[in-house]
Structure 1
Amino acid sequence: MEEFVYLIKPVRKDFIETMTEEESGIMEIHFHYLNALLSDEKLILAGPCLDGAFGIVVFRAETMDAAREIMVNDPAVLHGLMSAEIHPYRVSLIQPR
């Protein structure tokens, strides 16, 4: 398995402050989607910047095409709440828990 990172950015600057009820529901589904990747041992880490500028998802996939499919099926991306870009990645250092 290869490692990848995708960056997600809200499509509007004040997204966190102005999220509608529908958008909030989609973001909850986004969280569950990432949690399922964690359960499948594909997700390495994920989280947002606290200023709302962007979030990152570091994960494993068999190929770039498989990784891109994971990214485009993220509900936040799929429903147009977040733009996304993907890159090959390598976790070089990580603090054990």
Structure 2
Amino acid sequence: MAEWIFFMHPPRDNFIATMTADEKSAFSAHRDWLARLDTAGVLLVAGPTLGTVNTGVGIFTADDEATARRIIADEPVTSGGFMRGDLRSIQLGYLNSRSESDPVA
């Protein structure tokens, strides 16, 4: 099993604050897509970067690049043309075991 990082590049600055109704609808479907990846046990982490440029980042597992590409093909925001997707392999050097209830140091 390998890890993959998926970047979702926004079409404009301050994308989160300026989303159109169609973009918001695509993100509703995107949340459902993430939930399916989580249920399948392949999603490790996902979320947007904050600030002016709201690049989305998701890290998930897949056996190979072909499988990873099949997974992202179902992502509604990039497949719908609202953002540009960029898939890359990633080698996780460390994945902590801190739970959500642990305090941040």
TM-score above 0.5: yes
**Counterpart code for 2:44:** I
| 2:58 match: secondary structure | strand
**Does the CA contact (< 8 Å) of 1:33 and 1:74 recur in 2?**
yes
2:103 matched residue in structure 1: none
Q: 1:12 Cα deviation (Å)? A: 2.2
Equivalences for 1:44-55 in 2 at 5 Å?
44-51=44-51, 52-55=53-56
What TM-score results when the alignment is normalised by the length of structure 2?
Answer: 0.83
What corresponds to 1:17 in structure 2? 17
Q: Distance in 2 between matches of 1:30 and 1:41?
A: 17
Identity of aligned residues (%): 28
1:11–1:80 contact (8 Å) kept in structure 2: no
Q: What aligned pairs does 1:1-16 form with structure 2 within 5 A after superposition?
A: 1-16=1-16
- Unaligned 5+ segments in structure 1 are none
| Structure-1 residue corresponding to 2:66 | 65
TM-score normalised by structure 1 residue count: 0.89
Matched letter for residue 86 of structure 1:
L
CA RMSD of aligned residues (A): 1.4
Structure showing greater Rg: 2
- Looking at structure 2, the residues matched to 94 and 20 of structure 1 have their Cα atoms a distance apart, in angstroms, of 36
Secondary structure of residue in 2 paired with 1:23: helix
* Structure 1 outlier segments of 4+, above 2 Å: 12-15
> Matched residue pairs, number?
97
Check whether the contact 2:3–2:62 (CA below 8 A) recurs between aligned residues.
yes
Aligned to 2:89: 88
- Equivalent in the alignment of 1:27: 27
